Structure 1
Amino acid sequence: MSQNWQQPQQPQPPQQPGGYGYPAQPPQPQFGGPQQPQFAGGFPPPAPPAGRQGNPALAVLAAVVAALVGGFLYAFLLSALADTDGNEPKITQFAYAGVAVGALVGFVIAKLGGRNPALWVIGAVLAFAGVFFGELYGYAMITADFLGNHEKELASIGQDAPSAFSIFFEHFNTPLFGATSGGGLFDAWKEDADAVTWIFMILSPAAAVSTAYRLSNR
């Protein structure tokens, strides 16, 4: 009996790899621009870390100390440059002294306070106050030194040469030796201060702000 004729089977195309027993198909390269990284939950990427945060209270306290120390150094320098051997004292102003006080205060305020422009303003005020204190206390030291060179004349009228501390704190607004006329230390300083004195004093807060700005932007 004859067998039914069967049509030969067509060859089947090979199956795509990735099924059972086949290695996984490598990902196909995608063309186009770089894709942005996806974040779970749709949240934006974390913000970059902020600049160094300082301690404003500690910065102001340290700046007050720096202004006082700078003021005393300013006073000693002013007294050292003065000539008190003549009939009246001659005072020599030194511009870089005020700049140094301002730079010291600006360095402290920026180092401990971080990038905070409000602290720069406080530092400028403290720098000016430090130089102003140095001017007045230096003037008291010069006056005390000048009177100390005339102890014999003072002794002849029954007076002792006062110290700079006494002149600054006891005769700030009252005249020396119980005089009924004339002003105290502050009035005498105002009479001797000129435009150059005020210019040198203004350099101090300018130096404080400039130093704090440069240090904070490094």
Structure 2
Amino acid sequence: MSQSVPPPQSGPAGANPYAQQPGPAGANPYAQQPPAGAPYPPQQGAYPQQPGAFAGPPAPPAPGRNNLVLGLVAAVVAAVATAALYGVVIGATKHEIGYAAVGVGFVIGLAAGKAGGRNPVLPVVSAVLALGSVYIGQLVGEAMIGAKALNVGFSELFFQHFSVVQEAWKQDADPLTFLFFAIAAFAAFSGARKAAA
């Protein structure tokens, strides 16, 4: 059996017998192109969304959130700074001030919570650092008061005669002194939790 083959046509269209056949408009995505400079309309249903697929790349995590080391570093820096400031306030006023102890604790907790996030260790560490910060601040204040009374330098009294400063603190300590410790620890603990929320 032999089939008849159409005779070749002359010209470029003759090379492809289907070149002159129009196809349906929906079959060719380029058949209905917009004018030059106009945006292409979105293709509806070209690639349907697969179940469980992401619409785009996931958002990057918030910087510094739930970072224990960063929270600890921030809390220690805040503790050192607030201890010095609290000591200067005590030395200048010759009184322990409750609001200053609250501020010490709150600043430590705030720094830990903002830098470290929601790590459950940070509120506890903040409370412990607040206790140490208030204690050092009270010793700094005691040394400032003693240095003025003895007419010696603060650094000489604080660093070379630290045991004398501690003895003076023990003699001056009263129940209010220990209440300030508790206030500062509570402020640090709650401050760290609120800052991380």
- The answer as to 2:162 corresponding to 1:172 is yes
Q: Take 1:196 and 1:103, find their aligned partners in 2: how far apart are those partners?
A: 19
**Corresponding residue number in structure 1 for 2:72:** 60
Q: Which runs of 5+ in 2 are unaligned?
A: 1-49, 54-58
**How far is the alpha carbon of 1:39 from its aligned partner?**
4.0
State the distance in 2 between where 1:56 and 1:165 align: 34
- Structure 1 segments of 4 or more deviating over 6 A? none
Q: Secondary structure at the match of 1:115?
A: coil
Deviations 1:146-182 (A, max 9, x none): 122xxxxxxxxxxxxx211111111112xxxxxxxxx
Count matched residues: 143
Q: Distance in 2 between matches of 1:142 and 1:55?
A: 40
State the match for 1:133 in structure 2. 136
Q: Using the alignment, how far apart are the partners of 2:90 and 2:69 within structure 1?
A: 31
Alignment of 1:13-162 (within 5 A): 39=51, 53-82=65-94, 92-148=95-151, 162=152
Amino acid at match of 1:167: L
Q: Which amino acid aligns with 2:181?
A: M
**Which is further off, 56-65 or 131-140?**
56-65
Of residues 164, 167, 179, the one that matches 1:187 is 167
Question: How far does residue 115 in structure 1 lie from its aligned partner after superposition?
Answer: 0.6
TM-score (norm 2): 0.66
Percent of counterpart pairs with the same letter? 39
Letter paired with 1:115: R
List gaps (5 residues or longer) in structure 1. Answer: 1-37, 44-48, 83-91, 149-161, 174-183
Counterpart in the other structure of 2:28: none
Q: Aligned partners of 2:160 and 2:113: how far apart in 1?
A: 36
Match of 1:214 among 170, 194, 197: 194
Partner Cα separation in structure 2 for residue 201 and residue 78 of structure 1: 14
Distance 1:93 1:212 in 2: 24
Tell me the SS of whatever aligns to 2:96.
Answer: coil
Kindly state the Cα deviation for residue 143 of structure 1 after the two structures are TM-superposed: 0.4
- Cα deviation for residue 186 of structure 1 reads 0.7
Q: Distance in 1 between matches of 2:91 and 2:100?
A: 12
Query: What root-mean-square deviation, in Å, do the aligned CA atoms of Structure 1 and Structure 2 show?
Result: 2.3
Deviations 1:167-200, CA, capped at 9 Å, x for gaps:
1111112xxxxxxxxxx21112101100001101
- 3-state SS of paired residue (2:162): coil
TM-score (norm 1): 0.60
The match for 1:21 is: none
Q: Which residue of structure 1 aligns with residue 184 of structure 2?
A: 204
Q: In 2, Cα distance between the equivalents of 1:105 and 1:171?
A: 28
